[in-house]
Chain A
Amino acid sequence: MIELMNVTKTYGSTIKAVDNLSLVIPDGEIFGFLGPNGAGKTTTIKLIAGILNADSGSIRVNGKDLREHALEVKKQIGFVPDTPNMFLRLKGIEYLNFMADMYDVSTEDRQERIQSLAARFGMADVLQDRIQSYSHGMRQKIILIGVLVHNPSVWILDEPMTGLDPRSSFLLKEMMREHADSGNTVFFSTHVLDVAEKVCDRVAIINKGQLLFCGSMEEMKDHFKKNASLENMFLELTESESEE
């Protein structure tokens, strides 16, 4: 479960990237976070992951306040950033082992998970190579595996599908469903309506840091018809879909 209460984040002293945002994402739900470029999606996600400090408001994950129990909260989160270019000079296996150590995963658990995940994502053959030699999608996959290896209860993914091939993308969606169905939380951002439509239980739309809508997909479509300003937003989002 993720709870945001009146969270505000300003870059510098002018750009309000997240503006008094409140959201509750209960257990067992896949939650889509939608919005055009520069809407504040990544900023919100970084706030939840503990990468940025909010100016005001509070964030709770599984009932624990992020500020007070930072380490405990971080341990329960699996975070996939929007750019997968990190630790390029490490070998895939070294990266996974690093993550497993950071998240305190036992030797048996990590070995079993690394083997099964690498096989599922078709990465078994490249684990001994440097991440530098991976393609964009492969880099995303190694980071995904690095998150899954510590089996977090809350998944936070920043545009996880972009760059993945259809098979991997399908696999990820399937895993997200599984994860949510077993009582956990999945929170991911995208600006592709289509993706949100297929996998999300509920979605939120954000623009210029402010929450415009929060509810199920059906509710959203009803809403769009009634509300003219939201219709533009819808158009923007569907346009970006057609470009993908």
Chain B
Amino acid sequence: MKVKNKTFLLARTLIKNGEGLGIKGSSTFAKVSVILVFAIMIPMFMAGIAYLVTSLLGVLVQIGQEGIILSWGIAINSAIVFLFGIFYVVSTFYFSSDVEFLLPMPLKPRQILGAKFLVVTIYEYFTTAISFLPVWITYGIYMGCGLLYYIYGLVVFLLMPITPLAAASLIIMVIMRFTNLSKHKDAVKVLGGMVGVFFGVGLNLVIQNVMGSMSQEQIMELVQKGNNSLMILTSGVFPTARWGAEALINYSQLSGLFSFLLYAGFSLLIYFALLWLGQLIYLPGVVGLSETGSRRTKVNKQALEKTTVKGSVVRTYTLVELRLLFRTPIYFINCVSINFLWPVFLVFPLLFQSQQLNQIQQISEMLNRPESQGMVLAGSFALALFMGATNGTTSTSISREGQELFVKKYLPISYRQQLTAKVLSGFVLGLVSILIMVLFAVFIFKLSFWMGLLILAAAWLPVLLTCLTGLLIDLHNPKLDWDSEQKAVKQNVNLLYNMLAAVIPGVLTFVVLAFSPNLLVTFIALTALYGLLCYIMARLLYTKGVKRFIQLEI
């Protein structure tokens, strides 16, 4: 009997409708190069993990703690799934345009939810395949495991995303359920998403903290016990992670089978529990998500006159770009919030670690040593470059226009001005992240005030550079043919290209760093280097870029 399960049918359609790597419709060259990059980077990464696992196993086997490799492997992967999951769930469950088509169909909420959950699970496999498969297989080969180990492993792999994803879904669904009541949907959606992300990061840190709070003696005691006793350490995060690991380690014994059944049963139970809960709270959270509050109030003359004062073309254009970035939830999360989040992501873990004060003090001492001043400046350039390159504001700025690009072609302002405004909008946002970085450095790591000022005065150059390269790349290969905003920024390879482009100045910065010259030499070398690169890119933008903009048609 062939059962046509609506949930699976729907999931299949949703995946077909998705964009995969997001390289559909781009030029052959773009496709080939993306595939090449992945074909080289992914195996390299996996080989790296396999190497690490092999060398760790060599040590761990001697003290009878080899099992920790698997339990950490599963725990870390679960954490990764959870973190990515928060983003995936927000965009797939709530911000995806297909929701509006699905709602009028004769589908139960749990069918929609189930299908979307499966879609996200499948997305997650791409990540976990890279990070879990090498651990699993290397362990199996190293320990000479039998067939059953691989069968268990496959099931563990397939079910692994369920528990952390369910946790992520639950957090997001609850937030969305209670924020959907508000009038200002867009703002609340963004807030909901952000709270979810922070909640996730916070939870992770707390768990880390709990585990880190075990004293050295306690840990030593566990180590001496042998027999994989250290695995208890990982049990706190997701209970299923531990059962999965135990199933794999004891695969040849009955206790292994028992753990395996516990793992599989519990995972499935969680899946169905989530569906049941979703039936109650998913729909009220999505329905009317696209509504916008409206006031219908007469504009009083003064207010109107205040908002309609003539401004310069570039300024107005930049402001509109920024407004759209701030007001479109998916753009806000991907392009704007990341500017605030990076510095926080980088510094927060330090703050929360058990020997926090110690580490901060160490870093602070290091930063303020007179001989490391040059290094600090170079480091700030590298960090600014990293934050700039990971920000998609300019590397998606043409793509974000989508089918509306035609408007920009009939406006009577030069393409040069338009490109300038687009660079500016990214640059303004990038400056915020530098400012936050400097504030952290000065107030938490006690960097000297003057050094902070110097960084502010110079480290905007790498940000400008990434804005220029991002726009050039997006002009060259924009993704205009999208139907939901998230496709313009997520799954946009131009962001990846821009990060790759940043490798070159990144390497040059490290070359400067390697010579560890004094502050003055570093300052001159780096400003000259980045100044020159910015100049070249700006020239390219205003010649080749403008030409390309003229050619672009939709």
Contact = CB atoms under 8 A, between A and B. Distances in A.
A114 B307 CA distance: 12
Contacts of B407: 81, 86-87
Interface string B317-333: 10010011001100000
B310 A110 contact: yes
A93 interface: yes
B324 A102 contact: no
A90 B324 contact: yes
A51 to B, nearest CB: 4
A132 interface: yes
Interface string B283-306: 000000001111111110101110
Given A98-B320, A124-B298, 6 more contacts: A74-B410, A94-B320, A101-B312, A114-B304, A128-B295, A129-B296
A53 B414 CA distance: 16
Nearest to A129: B294
B294 A52 contact: no
B316 interface: yes
25 contacts: A50-B410, A71-B412, A71-B413, A71-B414, A75-B412, A77-B412, A79-B410, A81-B407, A87-B404, A89-B324, A93-B307, A102-B316, A102-B411, A102-B412, A106-B310, A114-B304, A124-B298, A124-B299, A125-B296, A125-B298, A126-B296, A128-B295, A129-B295, A133-B291, A133-B293
A102 B309 CA distance: 13
B311 interface: yes
B28 to A, nearest CB: 16
| Size band of the interface chain B makes with A | 35 or more
Contact of A126 (B294, B301, B320): B294
A56 interface: no
A103 interface: yes
Contacts of A105: 310
A115 interface: yes
B327 to A, nearest CB: 4
A127 B311 CA distance: 19
A87 B416 CA distance: 21
A12 B404 CA distance: 20
Interface in A115-137: 115, 124-130, 132-133
Contacts of A81: 406-407
A93 B308 contact: yes
A53 B552 CA distance: 9
Contacts of A106: 310
A114 B297 contact: no
B102 interface: no
Closest 9 CB pairs of A and B: A74-B412, A133-B294, A101-B316, A75-B412, A129-B294, A89-B327, A133-B292, A132-B292, A49-B410
Contacts, number: 109
Contacts of B413: 71, 102
A168 interface: no
Interface in B163-220: 186
B551 A53 contact: yes
Given A114-B308, A133-B293, A89 B328 contact: yes
B80 to A, nearest CB: 33
A232 interface: no
Contact of B308 (A74, A77, A79, A100): A100
A111 B304 CA distance: 8
A46 interface: yes
B409 interface: yes
Contacts of B292: 129-130, 132-133
> Does more than half of chain A's interface fall in helix, strand or loop, or is it mixed?
helix
A130 B313 CA distance: 22
A22 interface: no
A51 B410 contact: yes
B550 interface: yes
A89 B323 contact: yes
A133 B293 CA distance: 7
Contacts of A89: 186, 323-324, 327-328
B550 A53 contact: yes
A65 to B, nearest CB: 15
Given A51-B410, A89-B328, A94-B320, A127 B304 contact: yes
B402 to A, nearest CB: 10
Nearest to B329: A89
A7 B305 CA distance: 44
Given A90-B324, A102-B316, A107 B309 contact: yes
B313 A101 contact: yes
Contacts of A126: 294, 296
A100 B296 contact: no
B45 to A, nearest CB: 38
A174 to B, nearest CB: 25
Contacts of B299: 93, 124, 127-128
Nearest to A79: B410
A50 B409 contact: yes
B410 A77 contact: yes
A98 B301 CA distance: 18
With a 10 A CB-CB cut-off, give which of A89, A93, A115 has the most chain B CB atoms. Answer: A89
B409 A51 contact: yes
A54 B310 CA distance: 34
A205 B46 CA distance: 64
Interface string B522-554: 000000000000000000000000000011010
B412 A101 contact: no
Contact of A94 (B305, B323, B404, B406): B323
A96 B308 CA distance: 8
A97 interface: yes
A55 to B, nearest CB: 11
Nearest to A131: B292
Contacts of A114: 304, 308
A101 B318 CA distance: 12
Contact of B323 (A74, A90, A102): A90
B494 to A, nearest CB: 22
A70 B290 CA distance: 38
A90 B410 contact: no
Contacts of B310: 100-101, 105-107, 110
A12 to B, nearest CB: 11
A53 B295 CA distance: 41
A82 to B, nearest CB: 11
Contacts of B409: 49-51
Contacts of B294: 126, 129-130, 133
Nearest to B298: A125
Contacts of A52: 553
Nearest to B550: A53
Given A90-B320, A102-B317, A97 B296 contact: no
B304 A74 contact: no
Contacts of A107: 308-310
A54 to B, nearest CB: 11
Interface in A43-67: 46, 49-53
